[in-house]
A and B are shown apart, each in its own frame.
Chain A
Amino acid sequence: MKILTTVKKVVDVELNIHVENGAIVEKGLQYVINAWDENAVEAAVQLKEANKAETTLVSLGSGDNTDIIRKCYAMGIDNAIHIDDPALAKADSPTFAKVLQKVYEAGDYDLVIAGKQAQDTDAGQAGIMLGEFLGIPCVSNVIEIKVTDDTHIQVSRLGDAGTEIVDVTLPAVITVSDSINEPRLPAMRGIMMAKKKKITVMDLAGLGTSVEEIGGTAPTSGIVEFMPTQKRKGGQKFEGDPAEITAQVVQLLVNEAKVL
């Protein structure tokens, strides 16, 4: 089986992000591998360990993605492709999906594993769109994968009402939830050995496509402005005798908050 996983490099959203004049302040930002993609990589590596599989990673974006790719190598990924093109700097989900489609078509894959969504945009579209563009099955929010045979897998997905078990014909795309696994922290030895592995870097032309073909010149959507989130006001703390406090709180709820 040939597995393709998609890995996005995102801003570390756990840090405070500052906005000035409608744009994000670059200084002090930190970039990390999208957490759900780490789950996707882990899922791919686990499939490889349990069955015979070759795992390839693709990361799209302009700039240096070496550190996150090395990390995935250390986790056990076999090959890595980085599509590095300035045209991708302002791309939206459909554009990314189109590029992924090109990568998929160049490689003859059986299964694509993507993260459920990206931590930076929380869009959750790229993986599903890829399935649509390719005209192959797509299952989202997957929490378990079982290989049935060469052409079928069975996945569990977390639905609103409970867990759905879906039989999927390959090739297919799945997007994974963070409850599918606990990504491994690669062994130090793996990280050092990964330094020697080659990363295939190419631009859109190298991939045999162009900005026009992927619709990059006229994206369907774009970011107009960033706005900082309003700081939440601190709560009120009550201390002392429980009976008195209860009275106080009820008072406030009735008179000030007017919820009672």
Chain B
Amino acid sequence: MSPLFMTLVLAVGLAIFGRTMYQRILLLMALEPADRFNHIKDRLKNMVVIALGQKRLVGRKKERASGIMHALIFWGFCVLLIRSITLYGEGYVHGFQLPLLGESSILGYLYLTLKDVMEGIVLIMVIYAFYRRMVVKPPRLHNTWEAYLVLGLIGVLMVSDLLYDGARFMLITAHGNPGDLHYFNNPTFGQEFLWTPVTIAAGNVISGFSPVGLERVMVLMFWVHIITQLTFLNLLPLGKHFHVITSLPNVFLKHLGYPHEKIKLLDLEDESVWEDETLGVNHLHQLNWKQGLDLYTCTECGRCKEVCPTYVTDKPLNLHDFNDTLKAELYANADNLILRAKLAKTLTGDAEADAKTKEKMAVFKPEKALVGEVIALDTLWACTTCRACEQVCPVTIEHVPRIIALRQGQTLMQGEYPEELNTAFKGLERNGNPWGIGYDKRADWAEGLDVKLMADHPDAEYLLWVGCAGSFDDRTQKVSKALVKILKAAGVDFAILGTEEKCTGDFARRAGNEMMYQMMATENIEVLNSYKVKKIIAACPHCLNTLKHDYPQMGGHYEVIHHTDFINQLITDGKIRVKKSLAGVLTYHDPCYLGRYNEIYDAPRSILGGLSNQGLSELPRHGTESFCCGAGGGRMWMEETIGTRINVERSKEIVAEKAETVAVGCPFCLTMIEDGMKELDKDEQVKTRDIAELVAEHLA
């Protein structure tokens, strides 16, 4: 078209874009390190399935329509990327073609069709998206001008390209190709326009134009397309549409193995960390670069808040605002953070020399306190760490580790945390359980049951990890007893630690009290390793999760099995037999730390299916989308004073399904849902039972 103008447009567009991106990357580099470049194969797989495959968009039943809409726009965009290169080439060379995609190859023709159809589909999807935002108005969406602008720009991109091609088509076929325009023409594959139905339709729309008019339309649409594209590119990093650029890398760099980045094992003995406030996240620069990239990538789609138990019950934690606020703070302090990081690089490790540098670094401290001013305390402490948000996030943003790191800063450095936690922490410190009941009473529940202690039977094949609730809480003790009955019926060789067992430290760790957690973990691991324990049956998903995923960081390596998994295996192996005699409507509440954290969904269902004479009926929110009971992340030990109660919200859902028995696999869920039922005055109609209790009652 015009090499000079093309060069000018490209230079300006790319220079501004390059500068913005450079700043964004510098900012990420100013943050803490994160190790995310291992296991490339797994990462590529994630990227293909989750990002390119749009798994979390089209995969959720509840959001299928909008998911497909987004996927089609996304895939359309991917297809059009190749087309764009051809257009930029056209700016310089008349009739520019990409190798393999030119007129001599069938691929070139196939691509033409694909691009043509996709443009049509994207255009329809854009219209549907406008309709959704303006008429349907799903509550999770923020209707911002940015959203409309971007949709508009996408529409312009499609229309301009279709009209450009349409005008070309008319000039060639109806007016004898006056300007010697290029088009694909091959004796075998035929003519370009045989392959492009949407273009022909677009051409027909402007068929009334004279050749001169058509030529003008063509040139105009070419430049409109190019300039819109470059404008679009430059708008992306400024707002939520940055995800167009960052989601692929963000998904590629997502944490592997465990569902999110594991809580960092902090070195508490190092004196300098206490002086320099480097435990947890107290300041913006203590976020790691992947957490920064997460913030860049948030699409503000609101899926996370829609499934969040705190948002649903009117707590102040609104993840999408939480992310947005942090991102804004990050951008507002970008220059200072970058300068600070430069200085940090010059630290030598020599206390005296460093003191001066640290003084200089302190100048770049943000004006606002990260927690308290940027993020409100109530917001930070509302989270139950249930992971519902992470499970649905289409771009795999990890919220929970960030929240826990912020809590670490509060609990360890500032001593700021909900007062009610004090009692539980004190209980841990003194008696190794959050209730604060004398540690010597830990095995009282087992009196008369003839349960062996590890001390007397150190060669037991399995250690039964009872947990604090199973040991001290009256209601949960019944579950422990039921479990013992099952294990005995199956002839399992097991023992308990008795008074040598302590809280795993789960709730302390998730409330940011790494010190208390490490105290508990150190003592437990010492005991477990002294008995050379290999296999553990855990009767609590929180214990399971901590023993299995947290303890290896401190030298505790065990095979940990949840009791539902174990019971299911006993049934499968024929070690115990159950009767299908459970009457009434039976449903199951998936505990977060069993399901979303440890992907145990099938074993409980398989057991329950074998007990109920009318089969298991699922709750509306089940499996990966189960709704939290409200007790995780230390919330069990905090008061819930804002909004409505999470456990009541869940109990209502269970009542609405006309369930007569709701099965659970977690002592916290048991307490919370039973309490919820009491509050609704439904505890007579709906019985909350642990799976172990149901199995013990229906043993054949």
Contacts and interface: CB of A to CB of B under 8 A. Distances in A.
Given A15-B438, A15-B440, A28-B440, A188 B513 contact: yes
A189 B430 contact: no
A190 B438 contact: no
B274 A192 contact: yes
B426 A185 contact: yes
Interface in B396-416: 411-415
A14 interface: yes
Interface string B170-181: 000000000000
A48 to B, nearest CB: 17
Nearest to A14: B438
Interface in A170-218: 185-193, 195-196
Contacts of A30: 430-431, 439
A110 interface: no
Interface in B487-505: 499
Contacts of B415: 186-190
A7 to B, nearest CB: 16
Contacts of B268: 192
A190 B411 CA distance: 11
B412 A189 contact: yes
Given A30-B430, A185-B425, A191 B515 contact: yes
A16 interface: yes
Contacts of B431: 14-15, 30
A192 B272 CA distance: 10
Contacts of B274: 189, 192-193
A121 B212 CA distance: 108
A192 B413 CA distance: 10
B422 interface: yes
Contacts of A188: 411-413, 415, 513, 515
B132 interface: no
A15 B430 CA distance: 10
Contacts of B440: 15-16, 28
Contacts of A14: 430-431, 438
A245 interface: no
B377 to A, nearest CB: 15
A46 to B, nearest CB: 16
B360 interface: no
A188 B414 CA distance: 9
B474 interface: no
A28 B425 contact: no
Contacts of B64: none
Contacts of B271: 192, 195-196
A195 B269 CA distance: 10
B140 interface: no
Nearest to B425: A185
B264 interface: no
B441 interface: yes
Contacts of B425: 185
A123 B551 CA distance: 45
Interface in A25-73: 28, 30, 32
A78 interface: no
Contact of A189 (B413, B439, B499): B413
Contacts of B422: 185
A186 B415 CA distance: 8
A187 B414 CA distance: 7
B411 A12 contact: no
Interface in B90-126: none
A188 B516 CA distance: 9
Nearest to B277: A189
Interface residues of B, number: 20
Interface in B404-458: 411-415, 422, 425-426, 430-431, 438-441
Given A14-B438, A189-B274, A192-B274, A32 B430 contact: yes
Residue from the set B413, B440, B513 with the largest chain A CB neighbour count within 10 Å: B440
B172 to A, nearest CB: 76
Contacts of B513: 188
B604 to A, nearest CB: 34
Contact of A16 (B414, B430, B438, B515): B438
A201 B581 CA distance: 70
Residue from the set A15, A30, A32, A191 with the largest chain B CB neighbour count within 10 Å: A15
Contacts of A187: 412-415
Contacts of B499: 28
Interface string A107-118: 000000000000
A190 B414 CA distance: 10
Interface string B506-521: 0000000101000000
A30 B438 CA distance: 10
A192 B440 CA distance: 28
Contacts of A32: 430
Contacts of A192: 268, 271, 274, 515
A28 B438 CA distance: 11
Residue from the set B274, B413, B414 with the largest chain A CB neighbour count within 10 Å: B274
B515 A12 contact: no
A24 to B, nearest CB: 14
Nearest to B516: A188
Contacts of B515: 188, 191-192
A193 B513 CA distance: 16
A189 B415 CA distance: 8
B195 to A, nearest CB: 69
A99 to B, nearest CB: 28
Residue from the set A15, A186, A189, A191 with the largest chain B CB neighbour count within 10 Å: A189
A196 B412 CA distance: 17
A141 B439 CA distance: 31
Interface in B236-274: 268, 271, 274
Nearest to A12: B430
A35 to B, nearest CB: 11
A47 B441 CA distance: 39
B26 to A, nearest CB: 32
A14 B271 CA distance: 34
Interface string B373-414: 000000000000000000000000000000000000001111
Nearest to A196: B271
Residue from the set A12, A32, A185 with the largest chain B CB neighbour count within 10 Å: A185
Nearest to B273: A192
Nearest to B512: A188
Nearest to A186: B415
Contacts of A193: 274
A15 B422 CA distance: 20
Nearest to A13: B438
Contacts of A189: 274, 412-413, 415
Contacts of B441: 16
Nearest to A15: B438
B523 to A, nearest CB: 13
B397 to A, nearest CB: 29
A186 B411 CA distance: 11
Nearest to B411: A188
Contacts of B426: 185
A30 B268 CA distance: 25
Nearest to B416: A187
Interface string B223-237: 000000000000000
Contacts of A195: 271
Nearest to A191: B515
Residue from the set A30, A32, A192, A193 with the largest chain B CB neighbour count within 10 Å: A192
Contacts of B438: 12, 14-16
Closest 6 interchain pairs by CB? A187-B415, A15-B438, A188-B412, A192-B274, A185-B422, A188-B515
7 contacts: A186-B415, A187-B413, A187-B415, A189-B413, A189-B415, A191-B515, A195-B271
Given A14-B438, A188-B411, A192-B515, 7 more contacts: A14-B431, A16-B440, A32-B430, A186-B415, A187-B412, A192-B271, A193-B274
Interface of B: 268, 271, 274, 411-415, 422, 425-426, 430-431, 438-441, 499, 513, 515
Interface of A: 12, 14-16, 28, 30, 32, 185-193, 195-196
